[in-house]
Amino acid sequence: MLVYLRLLKESFSFAINALRTNKLRTFLSLLGVTVGIFSIIAVLAAVDSLDKTIQGQLSSLDSNTMYLANMSFGPTDVPRWQRETFDEVSYNEYKTIKSSIADAEHVALQLFVKRENIRYESELVSSVNTVVVSHEFIDIQVMEFEKGRFYNESESNAGRPVVVIGSEISKSLFGELEPIGKKVRLYGQKFTVIGVVKKEGSGLFGDSNDVSIFLPANYVRNRYGDNNPFMKYIVIIKPEKDADIEGVKAEITQVMRNKRGLKPDEIDTFFISVISGLQDVIDTIIGSLNLIGWVISGFSLLVGGFGIANIMFVSVKERTNLIGIQKSLGAKNKFILFQFLFEAVILAVVGGLVGLFLVWIGTIIGSNLTEDFEFVLSPQNMALGFFISSIIGLISGVIPALTASRLDPVEAIRTGM
């Protein structure tokens, strides 16, 4: 064991010597490993950070939450021209689903409408993300409140002019004033502010709650009617905790087919999208991004590997005389082999550590530049970077090390003189 520790120490000394003696050559050779490790770990760190942020966004929803609409939120085999002929989900269908599906814990209605301007006295916020939903929405999507509350069933059913606003909207309209109870103007009418949503940061799937307002669905229905072509209806269903998801989906399908009078040979004219299905799509995208990062970075690592091999061949040539002397003094082939292998690994690891350091600096800078997005360099990715650089060094150093270990001691001494 002591022999190998001494061997490791000597190899480290030789590697440092190579770095000091041939600075430019070493720098150019290690640059490939540094760039390769930087590319791979930077991509993995960015994708991990993106995945973490997406999971945080989706954590407010149960993975079994379903969306019933005339459009699909995921891949579908139904051609676009056919999808465009499907009827919008109606208010009556929402009521039917709500009363018919036994395993549905909560059923909410959401109307997609155009953005609106919201005004308080002389302050105006233009083109605000307007979320028009029934009162059950708060039972499906987790929302924390800075002040006030969400509208209740009575206010929702009656379509009362009440509004819940995001933290950024509150700040823009009221500044330091107390927003609860204030009257704001929307749709040419006064709305009473009853709640302010707690700040959550930017959203990856559209506008975040910080820059959104929430209105009772029935207010918009009563104002514009159910057949307005500029409104899109979606029914959100949250199944009971222990419900059979496929069973619930099949039950909703049957209810909708009966409601629409579809014949057995006709396809569904609606889509039921499940959050878990969206998660699968996201996982596929994340996997593709990782694969692209590996492919691109692989070329840099290949160049870096050749650079390390070049250094090691030069190192063998420069130390031929020393190898001959070591062998004449009794050094075994295995000792010479490991000496050069260790040196190659150490050189590659140095390049890898520089790459990891650059990624770490990049994550700090990136996190500081983006207020609501945090870049994360996980210990797993750091360990992976260290492992990959070690493997590159090992592979690159095998042939030079074998060449050195097989030198004839007499010829080596004579060549080196």
Task: Tell me the mean pLDDT in the region 24-52.
Answer: 75
pLDDT at 275 over 90: no
Tell me if 47 is assigned to some domain.
yes
| Same structural domain, 307 and 262 | no
Q: For 193-197, 264-268, 395-399, which range has the lowest pLDDT when averaged over its residues?
A: 395-399
CA distance 39 to 355: 8
Tell me if 262 is assigned to some domain.
yes
Q: Which of 124, 128, 98 is nearest to 116 (CA)?
A: 128
Q: Which of 323, 322, 384, 313 is nearest to 344 (CA)?
A: 313
Express as a percent the part of the chain with pLDDT over 70: 83
Pair type for strands 123-133 and 183-186: unpaired
| Cβ count within 10 A of residue 329 | 8
| Same structural domain, 183 and 162 | yes
Tell me if 335 is assigned to some domain.
yes
Task: Tell me the mean pLDDT in the region 34-58.
Answer: 74
Q: Which of 267, 337, 261, 349 is nearest to 304 (CA)?
A: 349
pLDDT at 109 over 90: yes
Q: Which of 240, 394, 405, 382 is nearest to 332 (CA)?
A: 405
| Same structural domain, 34 and 146 | no
Tell me if 274 is assigned to some domain.
no
| Same structural domain, 259 and 311 | no
Judged by DSSP in three states, 313 sits in helix
| Paired tokens of 31 | 């640059």
* DSSP-assigned letter for residue 69: E
Tell me if 65 is assigned to some domain.
no
| Same structural domain, 126 and 257 | yes
CA distance 321 to 317: 9
| Same structural domain, 166 and 202 | yes
pLDDT of residue 119: 92
* DSSP-assigned letter for residue 86: S
Tell me if 173 is assigned to some domain.
yes
Picking from 269, 297, 315, the residue at the C-terminal end of a domain is 269
| Paired tokens of 122 | 């002389």
Pair type for strands 66-69 and 123-133: unpaired
> What is the amino acid identity at position 207?
D
CA distance 202 to 210: 8
pLDDT tens for each residue of 279-311: 666 677 777 777 777 777 677 777 777 777 877
pLDDT of residue 1: 63
Contact between residue 46 and residue 367 where contact means Cβ atoms under 8 Å apart: no
Contact between residue 343 and residue 393 where contact means Cβ atoms under 8 Å apart: no
| Same structural domain, 264 and 138 | yes
Domain count, the chain: 2
Contact between residue 401 and residue 340 where contact means Cβ atoms under 8 Å apart: yes
User: Residue 128 forms beta bridges with which residues?
Assistant: 116
pLDDT tens for each residue of 73-90: 777 778 888 888 888 888
Query: Taking CA 80 as the corner, what is the angle to CA 87 and CA 275, rounded to the nearest 5 degrees?
Result: 75
Domain that holds residue 206: 87-269
| Same structural domain, 96 and 219 | yes
Tell me if 177 is assigned to some domain.
yes
User: Residue 164 forms beta bridges with which residues?
Assistant: 195, 214
User: Residue 116 forms beta bridges with which residues?
Assistant: 128
pLDDT at 149 over 90: yes
| Paired tokens of 243 | 């419900």
CA distance 83 to 71: 7
CA distance 286 to 50: 9
Residue 316 burial by Cβ neighbours in a 10 Å radius (0-12, 13-18, 19+): buried
Please, what is the end-to-end C-alpha distance for the chain in angstroms? 33
Query: What are φ and ψ of residue 389, in 5° steps?
Result: -65, -35
Tell me if 306 is assigned to some domain.
yes
Dihedral, CA atoms, 141, 169, 212, 220, nearest 10 degrees? 110
User: Residue 162 forms beta bridges with which residues?
Assistant: 192
Task: Tell me the mean pLDDT in the region 314-322.
Answer: 75
| Same structural domain, 104 and 227 | yes
Picking from 269, 290, 324, the residue at the C-terminal end of a domain is 269
pLDDT at 333 over 70: yes
Q: How confident is the model at residue 417 (pLDDT cuts 50, 70, 90)?
A: low
pLDDT of residue 193: 94
Picking from 217, 242, 269, the residue at the C-terminal end of a domain is 269
Contact between residue 336 and residue 353 where contact means Cβ atoms under 8 Å apart: no
Entry pTM: 0.63
| Same structural domain, 97 and 18 | no
Residue partners of 7: CB distance under 8 A and separation at least 6: 335, 338, 339, 342
Query: What are φ and ψ of residue 234, in 5° steps?
Result: -135, 135
| Same structural domain, 242 and 294 | no
| Paired tokens of 156 | 């929702």
| Same structural domain, 301 and 401 | yes
SS (H, E, C) 337-400: HHHHHHHHHHHHHHHHHHHHHHHHHHHHHHHHHCCCCCCCCCHHHHHHHHHHHHHHHHHHHHHH
Who wins on pLDDT, 207 or 218? Answer: 218
